[in-house]
Chains A and B, each alone.
Chain A
Amino acid sequence: MTSSRPLSSYVTLGLALVVWAILPFVVPRHVADLLVFTGIYTIAGLGIGLLLGHCGIVNLAQATFYGIGAYASAYCTVMLHLPALTGFALGAALSMALAWLIGRPILRLTGYFLALGTLALSAIASALFFEWDWLTGGTLGIGGIPKLDLLGFALDRPSRYYFLVWIVAFACMAVAANLVDSRTGLMLRAMRDSSTAAAALSVDLQSLRTRVFVVCALFGSLAGSLFAHHASFVSTQSFTVDRSINFLLIPVIGGATSIPGIVVGALFITFLPEFLSKLGDFHQILFGLALVAVVVLVPDGLMGALGRLRKRRVAAGNGHGG
């Protein structure tokens, strides 16, 4: 089978791009707002997906780095009156440094110890965000975070900010895809399938895990900074353990090994609360049930199930199994 893509797939891609470009202008404002969040959550979820799908690691600490990114952006722009880029950079640097420092000991754990370790980390961070109100403003938070502007365009409404967020999201998706298809990606999948054999082939498991954890933290921080400039106001409620669990839902529901799956998962966690907004805080219950349902019924997420369906159809078409 040759690797040249058929014309039809280029056409589909082109159409998708057009739809993507006009979407924020044709939907109501609050939907455009949700689409911005979808982009932000896609970025945060990509990192978790890499860890879950390629390393077999359940990372429940993402709200920590999301929060660091958000507070760094808030602090730099509101308190220190520095340009927005410093907030992004500071958040990224702090998140990666913390991920490196904490990652090395914690990632020596495996399985549920590791998962619960990251959960404990998120709980600690949430408590500290609350306690250190001289830095974060506590529950009162930090407000007045300025909107960004790009090349002179003020990105002051969702239909404009959408483009910045999604361009960053596409860049992150490209980077994640690069990683998966690279030498590092090979070693990650080897580690996931059999860490014993991977070690026997001189794959440095510990170093790999830590590095991917750092990349995940970077994505979390970027998402947090983008969130800060979108919401204009950040406070501790956005960075609790529940948020970490929601981020975990993204690859679990959409499929951890597929990058489009992350978008599906992000759409799910963004739009579901919207559909259920009349019921108040009911959406968290459904998130919990959705997680349960997926774990019990469709362990590799929607994209995984789709992948299996496609394989079955191909196999049936070829008249024999692989």
Chain B
Amino acid sequence: MTLSLVLQAIFAGVTNGIVYALVGMGLSAIFKGSRVINAMQGEFSVVGAMTTVLLLTKAGWPYPAAIAAGALAGALLGAGLELAFVRHMARKNASEDSFLLLTIGLALTLSAGTLFFVGRDGYLLPPFGEGVLIVLDAVIQFHALWLIAIGIGATLALRAFFHRTSVGLSMMAASIDADGAATTGINVARMRTYTFFLGGLLGALGGILVTPLVAVDYQLGLNLTLKGFAAAVLGGLTNPLGAAVGGLTLGLVESLAIIGISSSYKDVVAFTVLIVIMILMPNGILGRAGRRGG
């Protein structure tokens, strides 16, 4: 096991980890804000990425505009689904299982819809910045560096949002104590919609950022959902910023574990990690008192 192999794995791990972190932060934000486990989180990534791809290649939009539109598409999809389904079920006091089945059904619909409209092919986006950086025989693409930088920026922005802006503080308040928040004039239902908007935005961003590195296809959604969920659990489900740590951890574990084994076992490693941490560390590695599943 040479140093450059390890370094290569670390590069790959951090890169993937940031993507998982973004998906996980969205999932965690949605859970924190609504107690709903969003099994379609990864589909937001696919929809965001596909929107960008289509606008760029079919409609000829400039890249930055296509990216913005893709991120917005994910965000609007999230908010839209909350308004259409979640709100209705929340009013009927639906069980946790019902919400889960709902999001699984929506995930299936979105994934099947992607298959139907776009087909089985995978699509790539152009990277931000051409070329690679070589450190000690280990290669990292410039795009990956951009990805890491944007990911860190997004995490910091999210932190600032939750702690500094009034909307963010209201969302936090509504999720900690809905009744108390309502008495101070916070529209709890609207906060929940914003939460889904935010979750969709983060998911879409993750999808767009990863597509120059990994082709996006209709099956990527489930994969990202499970890994995002692992990231979120690792970070403590009710702690959206913890998912950043969780995502990085997952990415690194995944990449380091497959040194010497074929890289096709990457997913198997990640999903096994998910199962193991749910059983052994349901409150995540940060140990905050999140809520145990179920």
**A residues lining the B interface (CB < 8 Å):** 56, 58, 60, 105-106, 108-117, 119-121, 123-124, 127-128, 130-131, 241-242, 245, 248, 252, 280-282, 284-285, 287-292, 295-296, 299
Contact = CB atoms under 8 A, between A and B. Distances in A.
Contacts of A296: 85, 88-89, 102
B222 A123 contact: yes
A149 to B, nearest CB: 38
Contacts of B293: 109-114, 116
B229 A288 contact: no
29 contacts: A105-B279, A106-B275, A111-B294, A112-B37, A112-B96, A116-B278, A116-B293, A117-B278, A119-B226, A120-B272, A120-B274, A120-B275, A124-B271, A127-B264, A128-B268, A131-B264, A242-B108, A280-B116, A281-B116, A282-B116, A284-B112, A285-B112, A285-B116, A287-B108, A288-B106, A288-B108, A288-B109, A290-B105, A292-B85
Given A113-B293, A245-B104, A292-B85, A58 B97 contact: yes
A212 B181 CA distance: 43
Given A58-B101, A112-B37, A245-B104, 18 more contacts: A109-B279, A111-B293, A113-B294, A115-B97, A116-B226, A117-B278, A123-B226, A128-B268, A242-B108, A281-B115, A284-B108, A285-B109, A287-B108, A288-B110, A291-B104, A292-B102, A295-B102, A296-B85
B226 A252 contact: no
B26 to A, nearest CB: 16
A127 B268 contact: yes
Given A116-B39, A127-B267, A299-B98, A288 B275 contact: no
B100 interface: yes
A297 to B, nearest CB: 10
Secondary structure dominating the interface of B: helix
Contacts of B94: 299
A109 B222 contact: no
B102 A288 contact: no
B292 interface: yes
By size class, the interface of chain B is 35 or more
Secondary structure dominating the interface of A: helix
Contacts of A289: 105, 109
A282 B116 CA distance: 6
Nearest to A293: B105
Nearest to A116: B229
A191 B279 CA distance: 21
Interface string B254-294: 00000000101101100110110011001000000000111
A45 to B, nearest CB: 15
Contacts of B223: 123
A112 B293 CA distance: 6
Contacts of B294: 109-114
A127 B262 CA distance: 13
A121 B275 contact: yes
Contacts of A290: 105
